Amino acid sequence: MSRPTAGSAPAGFRGVFALGGRALPVHAFLARLPAALCPIGTLLLINDRDGIGDAGAVAAALWLGQALGGPVIGRLADRRGHRPVLLVACAANAAVLFALVAAVLGGLPLSARMGVAVAAGLTVPQVGPLARARWARLAGEDKALLGSALSFDTTLDEVGFMVGPALAGILAVTVHPASALVLAAVLILVSGSLFALHPTAPGPVAAVGARADVRLWSPGLALLFAMAVLQGAAWSGANTGVNALARSLGEGGAAGLVWAAMAVTSSVAGFVTVARPGTAGLPVRLRWTIGLQAVLTLPLLAVSGLWGAAAAVAGIGLAVAPHLIALFGLAERAGPAERMGEAMTVLGSGLIVGQALAAAAAGPLAAAYGYRAAFAVSCAAAAASAVLALATAGRVRFGPTAAVAAAVTRTSTPPAPSPGLPPS
């Protein structure tokens, strides 16, 4: 398989498949599906046996571990290469997920289950962020092709978060409440390893000593991280509100189907963005999509039934994938090339931190004041993100600082060719 040269590859889906081959998106999709299966699978399993209180605590521990471990996995992947780090992480994560199932079914104390859940989060292989870093390396200087690849990859995330919760619910009802976590462990072990072994897996980006001179954080990446936190908070507030509404109507099981409406419209919007990317620059697209999402979130405050909630979250979904596509596209510019995997995982951790913080606030608010209080958290987070985007327009540069650029020029070494791919 040959790599297209910059400027020679077609844009859109054809260019993406020509860039990485048809097997890479399949492996990447199946390997990241556990990220959607594990949280809902954990909630379903523990809620079935011990109640929602224990289930929420263990799920929060899983989130905490993933938020802390994500940048570490990304840093190691940049430093040692994707292949060895992903293979170890996939094996460890699968083993810990099996251990979590055993701990729950064996009736271990809550503290022990939370400890295993933290370990499960710490070992998540971060396939999504590392896939984006891989696409960035493959596309090289072809920005149009890079935009298509990152758009396609982000859309795979949206499809996964549409399929994952629905699949977990079906398995819990038809097979066993633990089956979603078991499936997640098998997928991460098999598909995650295939993703790691794919010929596009990059080796170490630079020597350890060279990396020490390259600073990760820049004003642009810090701004994107803040927006990722607010995006996660907007999701979590809306999700909490949907669940509270469903419970108040005696239809708790319908919450997952209502929430899936957002993933459906977001996936469609993402595929349209891949096929018709438009000509607007990424900073402009980021501001427009954040502003649009803030407006589309407001109808949540008027929701009074599940059909209305489904329509509202479906409307929000129209802006979600285009927003994330612009967010991660700018991360490719704001993060140094030598630490791209780490930069992408930092944004992934930001999304998780935002979800956890908003869940901690929206849950008690919904319990005290009703589901609209949780929806208000979502609206506030979306509005804050829009204000932040507008306030920083033109003031923050989404590229490496002069110091970072000089360090890269002075110390970086060319990436080692991946087995199976000729050098550029």
- 268: domain CATH number is 1.20.1250.20
The larger pLDDT score, comparing residue 409 to residue 139, is at 139
Let me know: does 289 contact 322? Beta carbons within 8 Å: yes
Biggest CA pair distance of the chain: 63
- Can you give the residue range of the structural domain that contains 171? 17-204
Q: Flag whether pLDDT at 412 surpasses 60.
A: no
Q: Does residue 6 fall inside a structural domain?
A: no
The two structure tokens encoding residue 254: 């319908």
Boundary (domain end) residue, out of 188, 204, 220: 204
* Least reliable range by pLDDT among 53-62, 130-139, 338-347, 407-416: 407-416
Q: Does residue 153 fall inside a structural domain?
A: yes
* Least reliable range by pLDDT among 208-222, 265-279, 333-347, 406-420: 406-420
Stated as kind and residue range, the H or E segment containing 414 is none
pLDDT tens figures, 93-152? 999 999 999 999 998 999 999 999 999 999 999 898 888 888 888 877 777 777 778 778
Q: Does residue 288 share a domain with residue 149?
A: no
Distance CA 123, CA 96 (A): 8
Q: Flag whether pLDDT at 332 surpasses 50.
A: yes
Q: Does residue 199 share a domain with residue 216?
A: no
Q: Flag whether pLDDT at 169 surpasses 50.
A: yes
Boundary (domain end) residue, out of 174, 204, 234: 204
The DSSP output letter for 46 is: H
Q: Does residue 214 share a domain with residue 179?
A: no
Q: Does residue 309 share a domain with residue 233?
A: yes
Q: Does residue 248 share a domain with residue 218?
A: yes
Stated as kind and residue range, the H or E segment containing 417 is none
Q: Flag whether pLDDT at 37 surpasses 60.
A: yes
Q: Does residue 272 share a domain with residue 157?
A: no
Q: Does residue 417 fall inside a structural domain?
A: no
The larger pLDDT score, comparing residue 143 to residue 313, is at 313
Q: Flag whether pLDDT at 205 surpasses 70.
A: no
Boundary (domain end) residue, out of 176, 204, 232: 204
Name the most confidently modeled range: 52-66, 67-81, 158-172: 67-81
Q: Does residue 240 share a domain with residue 163?
A: no
Per-residue pLDDT, averaged over 50-68, amounts to 80
Fill in the amino acid letter for 161. Answer: F
Nearest to residue 400, comparing CAs of 220, 197, 250?
Answer: 220
Q: Does residue 334 share a domain with residue 256?
A: yes
Distance CA 339, CA 278 (A): 29
Let me know: does 241 contact 372? Beta carbons within 8 Å: yes
Number of other residues whose CB lies within 10 A of the CB of residue 65: 23
Confidence of residue 10 (pLDDT cuts 50, 70, 90): low
Q: Does residue 196 share a domain with residue 215?
A: no
pLDDT of residue 417: 42
Q: Does residue 269 share a domain with residue 284?
A: yes
Distance CA 271, CA 228 (A): 21
Let me know: does 235 contact 353? Beta carbons within 8 Å: no
Give the residue carrying structure tokens 């595929």: 271
Q: Does residue 215 share a domain with residue 192?
A: no
pLDDT of residue 420: 39
Q: Does residue 355 fall inside a structural domain?
A: yes
Name the most confidently modeled range: 154-168, 295-309, 330-344, 382-396: 295-309
Share above pLDDT 70 across residues of the chain, in percent, rounded to a whole number: 87
Confidence of residue 6 (pLDDT cuts 50, 70, 90): very low
Q: Does residue 4 fall inside a structural domain?
A: no
Q: Does residue 418 fall inside a structural domain?
A: no
Helix ranges, 81-142 (H): 82-105, 110-122, 127-139
* Average pLDDT over all residues of the chain: 82
Q: Does residue 287 fall inside a structural domain?
A: yes
Task: Count up the domains in the chain and report the number.
Answer: 2
Confidence of residue 63 (pLDDT cuts 50, 70, 90): confident
Helix ranges, 123-254 (H): 127-139, 143-174, 179-197, 208-211, 219-248
Q: Does residue 406 share a domain with residue 293?
A: yes
Q: Does residue 111 fall inside a structural domain?
A: yes
